[in-house]
Chain A
Amino acid sequence: MQFLLAFIVVVPLIGAVAALLPAPPGLRGRSPDQAVLRHGVTVTGVILVAAIVLALGFDRGHPSKMQATTDIQWIPALNIHLHLGIDGISLPLLVLTALLTFLCALYSYFKMPSGPGPKAFVALLLVLESGTLATFAVLDLVLFFLAFEMVLIPMYFLIARWGGAERTAAAWKFILYTLLGSVVMLLGLLLIGLKAGTFDMVALATDNGRGLTTSVQVIAVLAIGIGLAVKTPMFPLHSWLPDAHTAAPTVGSVLLAGVLLKMGTYGFVRIVLPIAPHGMHTFAPYLAAFAVAGIIYGSLACLALAKQGNKGDLKRLIAYSSVGHMGFVLLGIASMTPTGVNGALFANIAHGLITGLLFFLVGALKDRYGTADLDTLAGATGAALYGRAPRLGGLLAFAAVASLGLPGLAGFWGEMLAMFGAFDPAAGLSRPAFLTFVAIAALGTLLTAAYLLVVVRRVCMGGKPSEGPQLADIQGYEFAAWSPLVALTVLAGLWPAVLLGLTDPAVQKLLAGGKS
Chain B
Amino acid sequence: MTPDVTTAAAGTASLVQSVDWVAIAPPLIAAAVALVVLLADLFLPPARKPLLGWITIAGLVAALAALVPLRTGSRSTFCLTANPDACSYTADQFAFVIQALVLGGALLTALLSMKDTEEKLPAGEFWFLLLSSAAGAALLPAARDLATLVVALEVASLPAFALVGLKRGDRLSSEAALKFFLSSVTATAVMLLGVSFVYAATGTLHLTEIATRLADVPGQLGTVAETGVVLTLVGFAFKTAAAPFHFWVPDTYVGAPLPVAAYLSVVGKAVGFSGLILVTVIAFPAYADVWGPALAVLAALTMTIGNAAAVRQAASRAHSAVRLLAWSSVGQAGYLLVPIAAAAYSGDDKVGATVAYALMYAVVNLGAFAVAALVARGKPLNRLTDYRGLYAERPLAALALAFFLLCLAGLPPGIIGLFAKVTVFSAAVDAGLGWLAVVMAVNVVVALYYYLRWTAILFRSPESADEPSEAAGEPSGTAGTAGTAGTSEIPEIPEIPVRPVRSRVPAPLAVAIALTAIAGVVLSGLPQLALHFASVTLF
* Residues of A near any B CB (own CB < 8 A): 22, 32-33, 74-78, 80, 112-121, 142, 146, 149-150, 153, 157, 160-161, 163-165, 167-168, 172, 175-176, 179-180, 183-184, 187, 190-191, 194, 366-367, 370
Contacts and interface: CB of A to CB of B under 8 A. Distances in A.
Contact of A77 (B423, B456, B488): B423
B498 interface: no
A78 B475 contact: no
Contact of B448 (A146, A164, A165, A180): A180
B231 to A, nearest CB: 35
B426 A194 contact: yes
Contact of B425 (A142, A176, A190): A190
Contact of B441 (A80, A172, A187, A366): A187
B473 A160 contact: no
B73 interface: no
A115 B444 CA distance: 34
A32 B485 contact: yes
B209 to A, nearest CB: 32
Nearest to B472: A114
Given A33-B483, A78-B426, A116-B491, A183 B535 contact: no
A77 B484 contact: no
B476 A114 contact: yes
Given A75-B528, A120-B488, A175-B452, A115 B412 contact: no
B537 to A, nearest CB: 13
15 contacts: A74-B528, A77-B356, A78-B419, A78-B426, A112-B480, A116-B480, A117-B480, A118-B483, A120-B487, A142-B422, A149-B412, A161-B488, A165-B473, A175-B452, A194-B429
B467 to A, nearest CB: 13
* Secondary structure call for the A interface: helix
Given A74-B528, A172-B456, A190-B426, A115 B480 contact: yes
Contacts of A142: 422
Interface string B461-494: 0000000000011111111111111011111000
A115 B490 contact: no
B120 interface: no
A167 to B, nearest CB: 8
A481 B104 CA distance: 54
Interface in B440-467: 441, 444-445, 448, 452, 456, 459-460
Name which of A75, A157, A179, A191 has the most chain B CB atoms within 10 A of its CB: A75
A41 B356 CA distance: 42
B410 to A, nearest CB: 9
Contacts of B479: 114-116
A152 to B, nearest CB: 9
A119 B411 contact: no
B489 A183 contact: no
Question: Which 10 A-B residue pairs are closest in the complex by CB-CB distance?
Answer: A117-B483, A77-B531, A116-B488, A120-B488, A77-B535, A149-B412, A117-B488, A75-B528, A75-B527, A146-B412
Given A78-B426, A117-B480, A367 B475 contact: yes
B140 to A, nearest CB: 26
Given A77-B423, A180-B448, 10 more contacts: A33-B481, A77-B527, A114-B472, A116-B479, A119-B488, A153-B413, A175-B452, A183-B445, A183-B448, A187-B441
B448 A116 contact: no
B230 to A, nearest CB: 32
A150 B524 CA distance: 14
A147 B356 CA distance: 24
Given A114-B472, A149-B411, A76 B535 contact: yes
Contacts of A149: 411-412
Interface of B: 356, 411-413, 415, 418-419, 422-423, 425-426, 429-430, 441, 444-445, 448, 452, 456, 459-460, 472-485, 487-491, 527-528, 531-532, 534-535
A120 B480 CA distance: 11
B482 A117 contact: yes
A194 B423 CA distance: 11
Contacts of A165: 473
A22 B473 CA distance: 26
Contacts of B448: 179-180, 183
Name which of A112, A142, A157, A187 has the most chain B CB atoms within 10 A of its CB: A187
A150 B429 CA distance: 27
Contacts of A33: 480-481, 483-484
Nearest to A168: B460
Nearest to B484: A32
A163 B415 CA distance: 28
B472 A160 contact: no
Nearest to A113: B480
A114 B473 contact: yes
Contacts of B481: 33
Contacts of B452: 175-176, 179
Contacts of A32: 484-485
A83 to B, nearest CB: 16
A164 B473 contact: yes
B411 A370 contact: no
B534 A77 contact: yes
A165 B430 CA distance: 49
A75 B531 contact: yes
Contacts of B490: 117
A146 B411 CA distance: 8
B339 to A, nearest CB: 13
Contacts of A172: 456
Contacts of A117: 480, 482-484, 488, 490-491
Given A77-B423, A172-B456, A116 B534 contact: no
A191 B441 CA distance: 12
Given A77-B534, A117-B488, A183-B448, A370 B528 contact: no
B331 to A, nearest CB: 16
Nearest to B483: A117
A150 B426 contact: no
A179 B449 CA distance: 10
Contacts of A77: 356, 423, 527-528, 531-532, 534-535
B422 A370 contact: no
Nearest to A111: B477
A184 B448 CA distance: 12
Nearest to B536: A77
A410 B42 CA distance: 85
Contacts of B419: 75, 78, 80
A114 B412 contact: no
Name which of B476, B488, B491, B527 has the most chain A CB atoms within 10 A of its CB: B488
Given A112-B480, A146-B412, A150-B412, A370 B475 contact: yes
A75 B426 CA distance: 14
B75 to A, nearest CB: 26
A187 B479 CA distance: 43
A117 to B, nearest CB: 2
Nearest to B353: A77
B199 to A, nearest CB: 38
B531 A114 contact: no
Given A75-B419, A77-B535, A194-B426, A116 B483 contact: yes
B463 to A, nearest CB: 13
A505 B448 CA distance: 41
